[in-house]
Structure 1
Amino acid sequence: MRLPIWSGVATLAVSLTLYPLFEGGAWLWGSLGAVLAVTVAGVVSSRLTLPGWAAPVLGLVALGVYLTAVYTGEKAWALLVPTKESAGALLDLLATGFADIQRFAAPVPDDPPIAMLTTAGVGLIAIVVDLFVTRLRRAALAGLPLLALFTVPAAVLPDPIGWPAFILGALGFTSLLIADGRERVGHWGRAVLVRRSRAAESGNQETADTRGLRLSGKRIGFTAIALAVVLPALLPTLEPDPLFGFGVGGSGKGKGGTISVPDPVANLRGRLQLPENTAVLSYTSSDDAPRYLRIYALDVFDGERWTMTKMKGRPENRVDQGPLPPPPGLAPSTKTSRVETDIQISDDVDPLEFLPLPYPPQLVRAEGDWRADVDSLMVFSSGDLASGLQYQVVSTEPEPTADQLDASSERPEIDPRYVQLPELPTRIRELATEIAADSPTKYEAAVKLQQFFTRTGGFTYSLETQGHNTEALTDFLIQSRTGYCEQFASAMAVLARSIGIPARVAIGYTGGTKIESRWEVRTHDSHAWPELYFEGVGWLAFEPTPAGSAGQGTARVPDYSLPRPAETTPSTDDPSTSPTTGSDTPSGAPNSRDRLRELDPEGVYSGPITPVETTPLWVTIGLGVAALLVLLLIPAMVRLVIRNRRVRALTWKISGPSDEVTARAEKVDRSVAAAWAELDDVLCDYGMARAPSETPRALARRLTQQHEFDAEAAGSITAIASAVERLLFARDPGSITPLKRELRIVRRALAATASRGRRIRATLLPPSTLLRMRGMGERVLDGFDRLENIRLWSRAARKNA
């Protein structure tokens, strides 16, 4: 009877982790109703002792009736019983929900199709959990469907899951395991009561000590949950995005240590499919021309998706240290144009730890700890966000001529990873060779590849696509030839690598639209494009995505990638094709602070800034170890506080004659009680604990004889025992002097008889304090036991009813 209820509770607790995926709460109330419907069906199945196979069938029926009543009740018979029309409407909502989830990025709007899809999914998880727990009696295996539900936000969201949601889900699963254990024990007879009666505690009734049995399972569960939450906060994070978003290496604003890199491709598609085309940023440039603003450079293709290699942003690569590293492959003799860009990021933009920049940036002035990746010149931060940031960029953009690109090296000096490809279908490599046929240079082949997508290949632009893996890539290139910017960019980069041209995929924004004096970039200007490498010029952007009304409206084809008229095509052997010399900047790529003024004569860069070094790794690890040591020293600190409080109670003063009777008695009582309690703890810490039946006088005698106390120590322990007995049993305790000196002598004598290891343990991990903390934990767990044993009415009341 209990197991179906706890199955529903566990499912609902884990489903709370889905809350960051939605903008509203309709999905939550719908899921609550679905879990209740499945739970009621499970309780009915248990009451009627239906066969195991019938229980999930009844759960499916209950879920179907609930979904019909909530979402298509107007087309059902009596608002409940499904009909052909209501079933068709549910299927339509289901299809619409799938389409909406693919269109929107999280958090998705909480419209009826998406809410219905989520409700149905949570209901199905509840049915599977009930099947494992109640019918198959495999409660541990029920964690698999719950884990599948938990991994949905973990896989979709770029931000970590909040620890409160994790704790609720973990407590739900732990409670399910405890309920299953109680159910199994119940088959053997009546369970042992977990609470001790007062009669038993007073000695009037003998009962078995079942504390270890009743607490073992809960200790394991609560300890596992606590370790899962606390350990990430104490250990340095080696990977992006720790589960709960805090710790030494957490990501996000103010947390420092690592950089959170979401899936750029998934985010790109989500932004393009958003119904609202909101403003993302605006900028002005010194030449008043639009330009692409790159965020990510993806250089690894595994056959499924494009990703980026690990970034290298050392402290010396902070943007406030001066010019950025020189652009890879850009020769000093290549003509460049110097452009200054002022960029303002919207306050409402999603958390972004990368700066949108024109390529190649040479100087960035931005507030915060922003660093440049040496290879790609992406600028990122592990502790600051771009939202609301205003920054300035100086870029030196190459102006290559077709002749110079023709003359670029056939074997570029660049990392081989930029031409690596997984095993691809033969048709793709053959297509690349066919397109590049009769091209005398790599540059001519790149231009033909771009023309293939924009003119000769018959491609069309559409956001309704089937993904970006190898199968989708083959379908895009060979059959459908329909896709959006990410597929165009990915396909051209793959074809370029197939014929030996280094290539990668850039993701960011197109130039946007001119509004008054500023260029405005909106959500639908999100874009992906390929970057191809040519020795002496470096990385150049190409544009294979159709522009204008047939494609992405603000996409622009670079001038250098346009085909040359046939009559002006020069030979690569003509001496007139030598690279153009001269530059708007001094020869030599700027890579030091000494060249700063030559690069920035108008003062975009504000001048010398004192370097702010981030915390080295060894310091971070040391802080984590120090925090762990402080945690381990908590028992010692608690013991010290308790001892000091007792020592202050060992002495007293009488303020005057009127205070002689009442105040003296109270202070004497507190002093003797403090001395006896402190002596009890000292004995426990040194492994000489007093037996419960041992009187103070017997304790003093045993310690004196067993440890051969000298006359002073024997007199002190006898004085303490005598004071305790007089206070407890004498009608008139008489005159009792403060016991501070006696307690100090006894403690020193006991320490002298203990080993060095025992004394160290008594100082750092005092057993008396550990036992006290253990007792507090047992009382907390007893509170959970009381909640489990609550009955709405007693068994006798039910009989009388």
Structure 2
Amino acid sequence: MIPPHAGPVLRTVATSLLVAVAVAASMLALTGLVLPGPWVRTGLLGIALVSVAVATVRALLESRARRAGTVAGGSVVPTLAGGLVASWFVLSRYGAPTSEPDLLVGPEHLARVVARLGDAGEVVRSEVAPVPGTLPVALLAVGGTLAVLLLADALAGGLHWPAATGLPLLALWAPPLVLTGEVPRGVFVVVVAALLLLLTVQPPGRAPAGRGERPPAPVRRAEQARALVTTGTAVAVALGASVAATASESLPGYAGAWYQAFTTTGDSIQLAEDLDVLSSLTERSQEVVLTYSGPDEGVGPLRTYTASAFDGRRWQRGDERSGEPFTGEDLLWPDDLDRGGLLEPAELAVTVGSLRDDQLPLPLEPRAVVTDGTWGYDGIRDEVVGDRTDTGDTYDLAVRPRPLDAETLRSAGAGTAVDAYVELPDSEHADEVAALATEVAGDASTAFDQAVALQDWLRDPATFTYSTELPRGGTGDPVWDFLQHRTGYCVQFATTMAVMARTLDIPTRLGVGFLPGEATDASDGSRSWTVTGQDSHAWPELYFEGVGWVRFEPTPAVQTGAPPEHTVDRGDPAEQGATPQQVPTAAEQEPRTEPTPQPAASEPVVAVGGGGADEGTPWAAVAIVALLVLAAVALAWYLLRRRRDERPWDAERAWAQVVAALERDGVRLPPRTTPRTAPAAVADAVTAARGAAPSAEVRDDLQLLSDAVERARYAAPDEEAASDDEDLAEVAQRITRGLAARG
């Protein structure tokens, strides 16, 4: 048998590369549902690792099959190898205790993956797309992508059904098509081009030929013509799709796509109600959440909801409650609090943008609300809940600020009527956190001064650093981890102050909403504010007797600006806790001398941002283009190599025809026949079988063909054959006719 040709191995590599390109591009379609972030890089890395593993194993099987003279198609071993790599990758990335991967995985990693899949299911059922790429959501997206990759590769590379490769990709295309009505045009172009090129690598209808089974020259020419036509079609489809997509954007009604009959959750934002303290902050939306006009000095942050249940890792809002009906004349404020002495009302007119939520963003101070629809007031949580907001909705507010100042809060003292807000989660480091809180509070004699001491300490840029990327923690207590590495964003700062305040018996909860946004002065002298997903924020609220819930701001000024005014006027410094410079750092942690540079003063934290599916990661588009270029280069190399090697295949096929003709006539050559000894071996075998030697013309043709076969097997690939002017197929036919005539 002839040594195996390199074609099957090159075909295997090209097939795996094209499948990887198609799956990677399809995964990017999910960025319309899951905000782009680290999960995209993780998914691309996983695709690369699994594809390399599958291609390597399949190429080794092809190589072994070539040496044995058989065909290696249909083996499940490459898919099993890819499944093992994919399983390890998912367990390593998403089964670790934190967002940092573990190289060694075990049963505990599997248990965490199962638990996080359950969390992802809750997100899918309860939140509006697009959602942040938190650990559970990223697990669902990346794990699902790798499963699609294994199935698509098995169809294309294992079963040699390239035409069916697009079917698994529908699992990645269907969610954005159903929920947003579109996939990015770049995804469509790249996937279609890759699938068409895949048909070029693997002609439909037959598996790769084994050694000695090369089709005749007319068939080869037809395959090359089909390859050129298919490649040209891929390029034409890619260009045509890009032009059509660009032109369609200018057509009337383009924005109101067909999918709106099924969903209205396109470019929308909703605040997550399950805040994971261990998760890094994903990319936030630039979509406008709402706009409002009001007094020159503004009314501070707008709170959407409050959360009081903290299990040591996550804040949760709790069960849904409908609230009590109200009118525009009602002052919405808890009944057990004093409503006397409120300041003059400030009027606000709010217009909803891309916010899709079932709570209205409201100022923290007492207010009256005039709005359409079915809404109720929850006095326990101080929330207005009910209908989901939609673009263009409006509501009016009459805000009656409380006369808050340091002296009032200092004399009020911590509330005692809401003891549930001082509950602490179980932790091995609970005593250490409590001790540190006491140390930071120092000699402060009132709950207010203790709270201010905690706020100032956390805001100190020499002690804490604002960053959306969390360092890895290893204690199992995210609050204690934060107190060690001292790097985080608003969820970590707010949570830490809330927990430390609770250790001091100060009732605390978490407020979640939006910072005031960007102010704009109109020509008529009025002022308006624009709030985007970038302004989403979380802060602690502490309860003071007779005063109610009061906002504090521990997140550094680099993101939030100045602290609340009622925490600045503090009276006699001698009666307060230690200043930030007097407070020691925790656990031998060196103080930082500079804050990490950050963009504008807005606190993005929990926004489930909108924006089109094309937003986000230019490097991902570059990676897809690079993979497609590599696929095209590999395909071109394969076609050139295939054309260059045609003559050796012609020699082998011609020789195989001669051997087959001899065997049909009952003439068999010795097993150890080589090309050099073949003419004599054929003459001897024919003479012994028929009693007559082959003619001189047949012996000459045998010598010519054996020389061609010897060069095909052992000469350098670029060495010119001696029979350039000879058609080896014709030589083989002359030999078989001559042998038949002598018979």
Judge same fold: TM > 0.5, yes or no: no
Shorter-chain TM range is 0.3 to 0.5
TM-score, L = length of structure 2: 0.44
RCO higher in structure (CA 8 A, sep ≥6): 2
TM-score, L = length of structure 1: 0.41
